[in-house]
Amino acid sequence: MGKAKHIGIIGAGIAGIASAIRLASLGHQVDVFEANAYPGGKLSEFSNNGFRFDAGPSLFTMPEYVEELFHIAGEDIQDHFTYQRLSVVCHYFWEDGTQLLAHAAIEDFAREVADKLKVDANLIHQTLAESERKYEVTGKIFLHKSLHKWRTWWSFDVFKALFRIPGLDLFSSMNSVNERQLKHPKLVQLFNRFATYNGSNPYKVPGLLNIIPHFEHQIGAFFPKGGMHSITQSLFLLAQRKGVRFHFNQKVDRIEVDKNSVKGLIVGEQFLPFDRVVSNMDIFYTYKKLLPQQKHPESTLAQPKSTSALIFYWGIQHSFAELGLHNIFFSENYRHEFDCLESGSITDDPTVYINITKKYETKDAPEACENWFTMINVPHQAGQDWDALIKKARQQIIEKLSRILKQDIASLIISENLLDPRTIESKTSSHLGALYGTSSNKRMAAFLRHANFSSHIKHLYFCGGSVHPGGGIPLCLLSAKIVTELLEEEG
């Protein structure tokens, strides 16, 4: 490491916090500025009428990226953060009464699929083995390193990966690959849904994204004690113990640049000098609001956006034994659902996801009640009449869940909060309310994301879900790792 630097970080989202931990652990002085009154960005929590909800991400995978932060900080993670592996990853439901448990143990999952769908159990083994192979060939190279530095490409592992491109399904859609491998329509639909993990369309996104099931079914899905917000809280406290200073309710007004080099930040009309600046703010608003006088990468900023979400946080006065932590209620026509999303609308029969942390944390809801994080995929903002869309979607979700669960869900709702693309944008500065920044539907989408550094402004770096390698907790944590390595290499 070179001389210790004074580093300013814009945004206390999970990537900003992780960057702060890494940089402070290397001896740098770090200040983090957050416009909200709390850390975590989308990974936050709230309570209402005795019900606690994780406001944003609800699935925890790749815990080793969290463990790594404690390790580099010289602490034992067990003293501050614990989690458990799920025995059942997800509960799946269809309108015809089919129910399927995605067991964490692959043998049990394969047996369940064979029993419920009457297909060869080897289909699951073969599909997950293929998912693992694709990840081993590409994931560790292209997710852990900057795609925008030549040295990433001059390695033996990259040359090996390039020779294997024909077997990576870059030129086939996820759906076409799944139809070829799995054949059964319900099984195809189940594996197609992994495209939604980064806001993509399985009928358009390259088949390479079939690496995603590997994260959940082979590396594992987990539940952190205290809920997802405990990830934010444990890392926030770790950063503070490493000397990171957080400034909440402190909106950054501008990144100060002189002669193509970062000089500091303007916060509340006050100039604060910094040797380096890391922006965890959405890349679109970083340029448009904080760098208005600088050259903007217009083609990158104009890339199509990912989908967004409509979430109803319901306090339910009932306990459903057939539901687990993660639950999916599939639409009858999955392709039509994504066609609607592409056109900027919502299907009349959306796939519904319900997360219920009460299943693992009894204090998250009153006795004999459950806290339902009820979500559907919706398009990003494009001038829609959201009030009308939300009213209609709410009724359709309730009717769908009532049919499948054979209960009058409307009568069980005793508490309600709402998150939609408008509030996602206003609370987290996610451009157009897109949850994952740029869409991954194009074959070269990974290469069209903004780099983790500025090619025009010296000492300026970027982390978070709107830049490489992408959205979601694991990739945001990896973006912090990439930023730290780039900053250290610069010296």
Q: Kindly report the CATH number assigned to the domain that includes residue 77.
A: 3.50.50.60
Q: Is residue 179 part of a domain?
A: yes
Distance CA 174, CA 424 (A): 28
In the predicted structure, residue 170 carries a pLDDT above the cut 80? no
In the predicted structure, residue 130 carries a pLDDT above the cut 50? yes
Q: Is residue 120 part of a domain?
A: yes
Domain boundary among 377, 403, 428: 428
In the DSSP assignment, the letter for residue 451 is P
| Residues 94 and 73 placed together within one structural domain of the fold | no
User: Mean pLDDT throughout 34-44?
Assistant: 96
In the DSSP assignment, the letter for residue 15 is H
Domain boundary among 401, 428, 455: 428
The candidate with the shortest Cα–Cα distance to 11, out of 326, 295, 282, is 282
Distance CA 305, CA 211 (A): 21
Percent of the chain's residues with pLDDT above 70: 92
Q: Is 101 exposed, middle or buried (0-12, 13-18, 19+ CB in 10 A)?
A: middle
Q: Is residue 278 part of a domain?
A: yes
In the predicted structure, residue 344 carries a pLDDT above the cut 80? yes
User: Mean pLDDT throughout 471-488?
Assistant: 94
In the predicted structure, residue 67 carries a pLDDT above the cut 50? yes
Note the pLDDT tens digit of each residue in 291-338. 999 999 898 888 889 999 999 999 999 999 999 999 999 999 999 999
CATH value at residue 419? 3.90.660
Q: Is residue 76 part of a domain?
A: yes
pLDDT of residue 446: 54
| Residues 407 and 353 placed together within one structural domain of the fold | yes
| Residues 96 and 221 placed together within one structural domain of the fold | yes
| Residues 28 and 165 placed together within one structural domain of the fold | no
Radius of gyration of the chain (CA): 22
In the DSSP assignment, the letter for residue 56 is S
Q: In 56-214, at which residue ranges do the beta strands (DSSP E only) sit?
A: 60-61, 83-85, 88-93, 99-103
* Maximum separation of any 2 CA atoms in the chain, in Å: 67
Distance CA 74, CA 428 (A): 31
| Residues 310 and 396 placed together within one structural domain of the fold | yes
In the predicted structure, residue 32 carries a pLDDT above the cut 80? yes
pLDDT of residue 134: 84
Q: Is residue 370 part of a domain?
A: yes
Residue 316: strand, helix, or coil: strand
Domain boundary among 428, 458, 482: 428
Residue 102: strand, helix, or coil: strand
Distance CA 269, CA 397 (A): 47
Q: In 74-200, at which residue ranges do the beta strands (DSSP E only) sit?
A: 83-85, 88-93, 99-103
**Which residue in the block uniquely carries the two structure tokens 């909440």?**
248
Q: 210: domain range?
A: 86-225+305-428
| Residues 79 and 93 placed together within one structural domain of the fold | no
| Residues 112 and 218 placed together within one structural domain of the fold | yes
| Residues 165 and 255 placed together within one structural domain of the fold | no
pLDDT of residue 66: 98
Q: Which pair of structure tokens corresponds to residue 247?
A: 């400034």
- pTM of the predicted protein model: 0.94
Distance CA 489, CA 252 (A): 27
Rounded to the nearest 10°, the torsion over CA 340, 345, 350, 355 is 120
Dihedral angle sign, alpha carbons of residues 369, 406, 389, 348: positive
Q: Is residue 320 part of a domain?
A: yes
**Average pLDDT across the chain, whole number:** 92
**Which residue in the block uniquely carries the two structure tokens 């709390």?**
38
Distance CA 229, CA 235 (A): 10
Distance CA 91, CA 101 (A): 5
| Residues 232 and 127 placed together within one structural domain of the fold | no
Q: Is residue 357 part of a domain?
A: yes
Cα three-residue angle 330-334-337, rounded to 5 degrees: 105
pLDDT of residue 300: 85
In the predicted structure, residue 244 carries a pLDDT above the cut 80? yes
Q: Tell me if the bond preceding 39 is cis, omega within 30° of 0.
A: no
Distance CA 366, CA 299 (A): 50
> In the chain, how many domains are there?
2
Q: How would residue 149 be classed by pLDDT, with cut points 50, 70 and 90?
A: low
Q: Is residue 433 part of a domain?
A: no
Q: Tell me if the bond preceding 469 is cis, omega within 30° of 0.
A: yes
In the predicted structure, residue 461 carries a pLDDT above the cut 60? yes
User: Mean pLDDT throughout 138-157?
Assistant: 62
Q: How would residue 490 be classed by pLDDT, with cut points 50, 70 and 90?
A: confident
Top-confidence residue, 134 or 270: 270
Distance CA 184, CA 192 (A): 12
In the predicted structure, residue 226 carries a pLDDT above the cut 60? yes
In the predicted structure, residue 135 carries a pLDDT above the cut 90? no
pLDDT of residue 336: 98
Residue type at 41?
Answer: G
Q: How would residue 259 be classed by pLDDT, with cut points 50, 70 and 90?
A: very high
pLDDT of residue 145: 65
| Residues 339 and 477 placed together within one structural domain of the fold | no
Note the pLDDT tens digit of each residue in 347-384. 999 999 999 999 999 999 999 999 999 999 999 999 99
Note the pLDDT tens digit of each residue in 419-456. 999 999 999 999 999 998 888 777 655 556 889 999 89
Q: Which residues pair with 211 in a beta bridge?
A: none
| Residues 259 and 233 placed together within one structural domain of the fold | yes
Percent of the chain's residues with pLDDT above 90: 81
| Residues 220 and 91 placed together within one structural domain of the fold | yes
Q: How would residue 150 be classed by pLDDT, with cut points 50, 70 and 90?
A: very low
